[in-house]
Amino acid sequence: MLKGIGASQGFGIGKAVVIRDTNLDYSSVKFTDSDHQKKRLHSAVADFSDETKSLVAELKKAAGNKEAEILEGHLVMLEDPFMLAQMEEAIDNGSVAEAAVDSICTMFINMFSGVDDELTRQRASDVKDIRDSLLRILLGVKSVDISSVPKGSVLIAKDFTPSMTSQINRENVSAIITEVGGVTSHSAILARAMGIPAVLSVVNAVEKSRTAI
């Protein structure tokens, strides 16, 4: 038996479905010129914005307007001219768009992670979600389609970002298990709003659940 934090009430019994992290390695991407890299960045931001707006609409139906604000916050964060200006500056200094996104978002993640306040620390998870989504778009990597899991699935992942959670079809998902997070994390808030049982902060849940597939 593994122990974690009961973050959303209820009992989930089903087949384990492990969601693996997407490979977002960009080391093979070569720098061309800064204008081209900035164009790629802005195109990725525009795609991210469209994708997120669509997820917001789905989340409003699945969890409610208040909960959808979590994802709307991602749009607001990325619309911050300071964040984008920093990324463009990194490109001007010779970074590819992927490296610019990674370095600037990681700077914000580290900044938020080091704060004592739990709620502020949760912003690190938001920026991580934004970073991973932008990298995925830039690299042309297809996102994991959580919405198509079969009925009675218990989803297990290192973390469920708000954008991942918003894709969940609650009719098919019996429970959520993650290796990180707590009762105030966005995945917990969304799980409660969707009425899905959740156990978070289960050490090595992904590794130990592989035998359960």
Partner 1 sequence: MIIADGFKGKVFTDPTEEELEEYKTKQAAYLKEKESLNEYFSKETVTKSGVKSMCTATSARLRTHRTYCKTAVRA
d(CA 29, CA 26): 5
| Residue whose pair of structure tokens reads 């479905």 in the numeric block | 17
C-beta of 138 vs 206, nearer to partner 1 = 206
Amino acid identity of residue 171, one-letter, is E
C-beta of 162 vs 197, nearer to partner 1 = 197
Q: Which of 171, 157, 201 is nearest to 6 (CA)?
A: 201
Query: How many residues does this entry show for the chain?
Result: 213
Q: Which of 178, 113, 102, 93 is nearest to 136 (CA)?
A: 102
- Residue ranges in 132-191 that form contacts with partner 1 under rule CB under 8 A: 154, 156, 174-177
| Contacting range for partner 1; rule: CB under 8 A; set: 27-35, 64-72, 109-117, 196-204 | 196-204
Amino acid identity of residue 48, one-letter, is F
Among 19, 55, 62, 202, binds partner 1 (CB under 8 A): 202
With binding defined as CB under 8 A, does residue 7 bind partner 1?
Answer: yes
With binding defined as CB under 8 A, does residue 206 bind partner 1?
Answer: no
User: What residues line the site for partner 1 (CB under 8 A)?
Assistant: 1-16, 154, 156, 174-177, 197-200, 202, 205, 208-209, 211-212
